[in-house]
Amino acid sequence: MRDYEALLHPLIDPLVEKPESIMIRELPGSSSRDVSILIVSEDDDTARLIGRKGAVANALREVIGIAGKAEDSNVRIHLKFESFGEDEKNDGE
């Protein structure tokens, strides 16, 4: 299995203001061919990673999707973006 965190950090770190606060975790997928990767960052950095109309997020999905198809592994990679502050906002409602 590939180290997707090592693949994503060089792509993501130049795009954000606080690269040291980025957390990347691999989550269990719905099947052995699916990999879900959660990227958690500060609110402003999450907005940068998603981009206008999701342009940056889609580009990251394309690039990391190629890694999933490399070496005949044919793994589907799903990227999910969240902010550290989202739980705090939902608790107040």
CATH number at residue 14: 3.30.300.20
Of the ranges 3-7, 23-27, 83-87, the best mean pLDDT one: 23-27
Q: How far is Cα 26 from Cα 44, in angstroms, rounded to an integer?
A: 22
Name the band, by pLDDT with cuts 50, 70 and 90, for residue 88: very low
Q: What is the mean pLDDT of residues 2-16?
A: 89
| pLDDT computed for residue 47 by the predictor | 95
Task: Tell me, yes or no, whether 25 lies in a domain.
Answer: yes
Q: What is the mean pLDDT of residues 51-75?
A: 87
Q: What is the CA radius of gyration of the chain?
A: 14
Phi/psi region, residue 75 (left: phi>0; alpha: psi -120 to 50; beta: rest), is beta
Number of domains within the chain: 1
What is the domain range of residue 70?
Answer: 4-84
For residue range 26-53, list pLDDT tens digits in order: 988 788 788 899 999 999 999 999 999 9
pTM: 0.81
